[in-house]
Structure 1
Amino acid sequence: MRFLFPSDYFKPKRVDPTYAEQFALFDDRGCATSVISLENLSLDSSTIYPRSNPGERLIYRGWMLAPDDYSILVKAVRNTGAQMWIDRDEYLRTHYLPNWYPLLGDLTPETHCFDVDDRLESKLTELGWSQFFVKDYVKSLKTSTGSIINSPSAINSLIADMQKFRGTIEGGICVRKVEDFITETERRYFVINGRVFAASPDLEIPKIVTECARRIDSKFFSIDCIARRDGRIRIVEIGDGQVSGLVGWTVDRFANLWTEFTID
């Protein structure tokens, strides 16, 4: 197994500084590591350094990739005779909210998905909610006015801000019902081959997280759960593990996961 990281923009044979600590710790644990230039992905000319070996499986650890860019990454790896551990379909299975929501509808806030060109103000009015959490298939707006609106009439302004500050809207629009969450209780878990890991080995895994891991067909993904003020635990998000940040985790703990078992 080889771990593939984004390279530095100016030094394509070195790791992006954001991932330098992860890269170094994986090396220390005896894991094979390489880098790839994401800037050249769209040119179909990215090379992997050091080059992966024929038959190897690669796990990507880096910035989120659009579907077409992930496909190019898969191709670049195949050109070396190796293969990605997570193929494009599996990547999108957890990366795009509409793909995982139908499997977890009873465990997470009610969600409706729309095209950007839909009559969104009318659609939100029909929902009849007092608040709306708005995001695209992947991310929410964390700048400007944020992602929560109190009136359907605010949706067009929010979409404009998403396009302005994010540069693009990926996939479409997801509107989620706002629940009374206790923000400081949010926790991230990683699932590898069906096994759930917490940020600390002595933390108890909530039953809802175990159930989520059972329902999702992916070898490597993250689960974010949070407590509601009525005491109920809810799934707030899941994502592909390759592009999930180490929120609440130490790099050392994350690197140690990959020495605890053999990957099939």
Structure 2
Amino acid sequence: MGATFIFCADPLRPRSTDRHFADEAHAVRALGHPAALVDHDALTAGDPAAAVARVPKGAGPAWYRGWMLTAAQYGALDAALAARGVTLVTTPGAYRRAHELPGWYDVFAPRTPRSVWLPCTPGTAPDQRSLATAATALGGGPGIVKDYVKSHKHEWDEACYVPDLTDTHRLASVVGRFLELRADALVGGVVIRAFENFRTARGEVRVWWVDGEPVLLTAHPDTPGLRPEPEPDTAFVRPLVTALGCRFVTTDLALREDGAWRVVEVGDGQVSDLPRGAPAQPLLQRLATAGGTGAAPGA
């Protein structure tokens, strides 16, 4: 039978899959694999037992496919499911490692823009001296601001891009606006990344890895109509994914202006979005058969 897939329920129809994941849930059932539902609102509200009440007891190994969770929320989900005899294939430690930049950065550092980060809490910005010291480690030039998992790239000039990282006042202004927009959704703290010129008109490639193997290549969900051609040779990423040691991850790749492929982002595959129209069946089938049967790549 393979692994169970746990999807987010529709907030207005709790017995139905959230419409965003309905096609995947339909594909899972068509392939003959079990699917269950969790209440994402209850989970984020701090009631994990209520969130998993509809998951069958004793369902065994499972993959979560749903909205992003903080590492703490994912840990609570893992514990609540374990109490029902259900084991998430991705452990809480592996989830944090793939989901948050400080967890994956050291492994991918040779292939991703240089980055530094400053832990902070929502609404409390690092002081200008701390920002200046952090930015100095990147050597000046332009940069971008984000938190451990998300940016506000759609507010590019006011809350993401810094033309010159040595301009501490401008950096502080962008960080302040970013924190204002992220509010309580802030994850971990502020990340400052060196800006690299990518061929953005050609889009990005999202590579879906299961047990260290590239199972599916798609466009990035933000630009589903764009996909670089020719596709990248993923061989340069494989040893890094193996070194990360997580069973289900995604890597977003972009072509830099000088022709080098770069890793823009790494993510836990369970909360990575498929672009509209992407063929989910090969990925879901591989996950179903891999669930509970393998080990982390490099283990």
Instruction: Indicate the residue corresponding to 1:259 in structure 2.
Output: 285
CA distance in 2, matches of 1:50, 1:224: 33
Q: Quick one: higher RCO (CA 8 Å, sep 6+), 1 or 2? A: 2
Structure 1 residues 108 and 204: alpha-carbon distance in aligned structure 2, compared to 1, 3 A threshold: closer
Instruction: Indicate the residue corresponding to 2:197 in structure 1.
Output: 180
CA distance in 2, matches of 1:16, 1:58: 18
CA distance in 1, matches of 2:237, 2:49: 40
CA distance in 2, matches of 1:124, 1:242: 32
CA distance in 2, matches of 1:19, 1:82: 21
Contact 1:134 1:175 in 2 (8 A): yes
Instruction: Indicate the residue corresponding to 1:242 in structure 2.
Output: 270
> Of the candidates 170, 192, 209, which is equivalent to residue 210 of structure 2?
192
Instruction: Indicate the residue corresponding to 1:123 in structure 2.
Output: 134
Shift of 1:215: 2.0
Q: Deviations over 1:237-258 (max 9, x none)?
A: 11000000114x744x222223
Contact 1:131 1:177 in 2 (8 A): yes
Q: Give SS of 1:207's match.
A: helix
Moved more, 14-23 or 56-65: 14-23
The one-letter code of the counterpart of 2:196 is E
CA distance in 1, matches of 2:119, 2:53: 39
Instruction: Indicate the residue corresponding to 1:134 in structure 2.
Output: 145
Structure 2: tracts of 5 or more residues without a match: 121-125, 219-229, 294-299
1:147 equivalent to 2:147? Answer: no
Provide the TM-score with structure 1 as the length reference.
0.90
Moved more, 65-74 or 140-149: 140-149
CA distance in 1, matches of 2:174, 2:134: 15
Shift of 1:82: 1.3
Shift of 1:50: 4.6
CA distance in 1, matches of 2:277, 2:217: 7
Aligned length: 261
Contact 1:4 1:60 in 2 (8 A): yes
Structure 1 residues 47 and 122: alpha-carbon distance in aligned structure 2, compared to 1, 3 A threshold: closer
Aligned-residue sequence identity (percent) comes to 26
Provide the TM-score with structure 2 as the length reference.
0.80
Q: Give SS of 2:280's match.
A: helix
CA distance in 2, matches of 1:214, 1:36: 30
The one-letter code of the counterpart of 1:164 is E
The one-letter code of the counterpart of 2:48 is D
